[in-house]
Amino acid sequence: MRKVIVGVAFMLGALGISPGLQTASADIQDCATGYYCHYRDAYWYGGHINGTGNINQFSTYGFNDVTSSIIDDRAFRVFSYVDSFQGGSSICTSAYHFESNLADIGFNDRISSTAAGSTYSTCP
């Protein structure tokens, strides 16, 4: 298992992506450069939705309250909110960072919208 974690961390590093709140494991799913991606399962499994700007209602895409991991492969930070239209509490992912398992920070299967910053790369 450790070998897998190190290998994937290396792969992510090669892609210019570095850890946000967690370290990497398993294989990275496709998240195109210039997008942020929200995955149904931890460690970027289970399919994802992506965006470049705000997504006001994840429910529109059948993705309400299912996100378990995130990659931000954009030059700007992205906030993920527990309610639609950027409501409720949120977590921030800095540019080129990722969250491997939202369960570790109490946000698993809770995300309902995003605010995609276009000014700041790092979280407050």
Instruction: Give the residues lining the site for Ca ion (CB under 5 A).
Output: 66, 68, 109
Distance in Å, CB of 29 to Ca ion, minimum: 13
CB closer to Ca ion out of 67 and 94: 67
**What's the rounded Cα separation, in Å, for the pair 49 and 62?**
9
- C-beta of residue 59 within 8 angstroms of C-beta of residue 84: yes
CB closer to Ca ion out of 104 and 109: 109
Distance in Å, CB of 102 to Ca ion, minimum: 8
Q: Which of 54, 56, 55, 50 is nearest to 38 (CA)?
A: 50
**What's the rounded Cα separation, in Å, for the pair 14 and 79?**
24
CB closer to Ca ion out of 10 and 61: 61
Distance in Å, CB of 109 to Ca ion, minimum: 5
- Distance between alpha carbon 70 and the CA centroid of its chain, in Å? 2
Residue in the shown chain whose Cβ atom is closest to Ca ion: 68
Distance in Å, CB of 1 to Ca ion, minimum: 21
CB closer to Ca ion out of 91 and 95: 91
How far from each other are the two terminal CA atoms of the chain, in whole angstroms?
33
